[in-house]
Amino acid sequence: MNETQPLSHKQLRRWVADRLRADILEGRLKPGEWLRQERLAQEYGVSQMPIREAFKELAAEGLVEHVPYRGVRVVEFAVDDVADLYAQRGFLEGMAARAAAALITREELDELRSLLSQMAQRLGPQDLTEYRELNRRFHQIVYQASHRAYLIRTLDQLWNAFPNMLWGNFAQTAVEPLPDRNLNDVEEHQAILTALENHNPDAAERLVRQHIESAARQLVAALRGPA
């Protein structure tokens, strides 16, 4: 750390947790990698105490796991975990979209339109990282518009695994989009946006769930490979 003034314990703990979280989500710390307190403390320029506290915080978020008698490592996803994660997202984001249909503001709808326009212009493999970030923001705006605090907190935690960490677990999805998926994505997002513009809760919930279920089927099939 290169701080001109020392941080308080609370500030230091937050800084370490944010740094460690970013290193995981951005792929500098790889799935399955063991996290050693001594090495991280030296690299971050801190004592081991805030590292231990950060481990607890990130374990609660599902980004790292404690393995008895071994230590702490970055969570590594299996294909079944991917299916389970998408199933949770589909159910919870569907609920949030239903609530959002009644509450979403004009400003939020305008932002969704802008994001959708940007996504439609970034369908090539070279735009994958930016496309996925736009997609992330689109979904976040929808579920945050629900104003359902529990749903928002839970979905924020689920989205901690997206996009870099989850997709980065598998060579097939780390640097290449799924075949034809992004084009379907844009069409499905447009249908969701239309339902929200019409303040139609039934359609918003149904379309969000169908969208996430469709993405899950294609992703899981690609990860499992030929039968």
Every domain of the chain and the residues it spans: 9-74, 79-224
Sign (positive or negative) of CA dihedral 112, 134, 80, 28:
negative
3-state secondary structure (DSSP) of residue 35: strand
Q: Give the residue-averaged pLDDT of 61-83.
A: 89
| Cα–Cα–Cα angle for 139, 200, 94, rounded to 5 degrees | 40
Predicted pLDDT of residue 3: 47
Q: If residue 163 lies in a helix (H) or strand (E), which one and from where to where? A: none
Strand partners, 71: 67
Per-residue pLDDT reduced to its tens digit, 131-185: 888 999 999 999 999 999 999 999 998 887 665 556 566 655 555 555 555 568 8
In terms of pLDDT, which residue wins out, 153 or 22?
Answer: 153
Q: CA 164 to CA 24: how far, in whole Å?
A: 9
Residue 217 token pair: 């089927």
Per-residue pLDDT reduced to its tens digit, 55-64: 999 998 888 9
Predicted pLDDT of residue 112: 98
Predicted pLDDT of residue 199: 98
Pick from 36-40, 127-131, 153-157: least confident: 127-131
CATH dotted code for 79-224: 1.20.120.530
Residue 82 has pLDDT above 50, yes or no: yes
User: 9-74 and 79-224: same fold?
Assistant: no
Residue 129 token pair: 């990282």
Residue 5 token pair: 């003034």
Q: Could you give the dihedral angle defined by the CA atoms of residues 206, 210, 212 and 217, in that order, rounded to the nearest 10 degrees?
A: 160
DSSP state of 8: P
Predicted pLDDT of residue 4: 43
3-state secondary structure (DSSP) of residue 34: strand
> What CATH class does 9-74 carry?
mainly alpha
Q: Can you give the pTM of this predicted structure?
A: 0.75
Direct distance between the N- and C-terminal alpha carbons of the chain, in angstroms, rounded to an integer: 50
Provide the percentage of residues in the chain whose pLDDT is more than 70: 86
Residue 191 has pLDDT above 60, yes or no: yes
Q: CA 140 to CA 118: how far, in whole Å?
A: 16
Residue 11 has pLDDT above 70, yes or no: yes
In terms of pLDDT, which residue wins out, 194 or 5?
Answer: 194
Provide the percentage of residues in the chain whose pLDDT is more than 90: 58
- Average pLDDT over all residues of the chain: 87
